[in-house]
A and B are shown apart, each in its own frame.
Chain A
Amino acid sequence: NAGVTQTPKFQVLKTGQSMTLQCAQDMNHNSMYWYRQDPGMGLRLIYYSASEGTTDKGEVPNGYNVSRLNKREFSLRLESAAPSQTSVYFCASSAHRDTQYFGPGTRLTVL
């Protein structure tokens, strides 16, 4: 099993450009999550999906959209990137409200 995979690993954008971060899990988990991690800020939840077909806002949803494409895939879209969105983005999944399994992260720089 690959666990949680994320693409791309690194990305540099210019202000105003758009992009989609992809996440997939092969553990048949119901719940999936998107976090951002900034220096000294820990992880902050952007959006989550408790089950296929549902999505909910987390702590910092502004400037992002998500799509739960199917049970395996959960994508995060930046419609118009801003320098404040420079961060490391992590996707995670879980079977229930317990252990979360994390992907390796996407390092995004917005110039």
Chain B
Amino acid sequence: SQQGEEDPQALSIQEGENATMNCSYKTSINNLQWYRQNSGRGLVHLILIRSNEREKHSGRLRVTLDTSKKSSSLLITASRAADTASYFCATDTGAQKLVFGQGTRLTINP
């Protein structure tokens, strides 16, 4: 079964708005990562947040982690058409591998 589950499954917003995606997981983690996948392409790493961190920023991305609730959120501010993609969270539980969620499909409308 999937460790991470993203919510919502699909999100459509207007360009310039902020997009928020959530990820919930089931077991303790070492870190949680977010990846982006453009249509027909491989995944690209966006940001990693460790279990002892609560918030991390990278450009227009902001990730939060709440280990007590076993959840994370990815915020993309001032969205652009180029942000249209699927976004996946992945958890590292210390077993030499990541477990990916099913992803959120984000569409930015011009």
Q: Does B60 contact A (CB under 8 A)?
A: no
B36: shortest Cβ distance to chain A, in Å?
11
- Majority secondary structure, A binding face: strand
Interface size on B, residues (CB 8 A): 24
Q: Which of B98, B101, B102, B103 contacts A100 (CB 8 A)?
A: B98
Tell me which residues across on chain A come within 8 A of B35, comparing CB atoms: 100
Closest to A3 in B: B42
A44: shortest Cβ distance to chain B, in Å?
8
Q: Does B100 contact A (CB under 8 A)?
A: yes
Known: A43-B100, A97-B94. A102 touches B43 (CB 8 A): yes
Q: Does B75 contact A (CB under 8 A)?
A: no
Asked whether A98 lies within 8 Å of B101 as measured between CB atoms, the reply is no
Known: A42-B2, A56-B96. A90 touches B42 (CB 8 A): yes
Tell me which residues across on chain B come within 8 A of A92, comparing CB atoms: 42-43
Tell me which residues across on chain A come within 8 A of B88, comparing CB atoms: 42-43
Asked whether B42 lies within 8 Å of A98 as measured between CB atoms, the reply is no
Closest to B98 in A: A100
A1: shortest Cβ distance to chain B, in Å?
15
- Cα distance, A100 to B88, chains bound together (Å): 13
Within 8 A of A (CB), among B52-110: 88, 90, 92, 94, 96-103
User: Which residues of A approach B to under 8 Å, CB–CB?
Assistant: 4, 31, 33, 35, 40-45, 48, 50, 56, 58, 90, 92, 97-105
Closest 3 pairs between A and B when the two form their complex, measured CB to CB: A102-B42, A42-B102, A43-B100
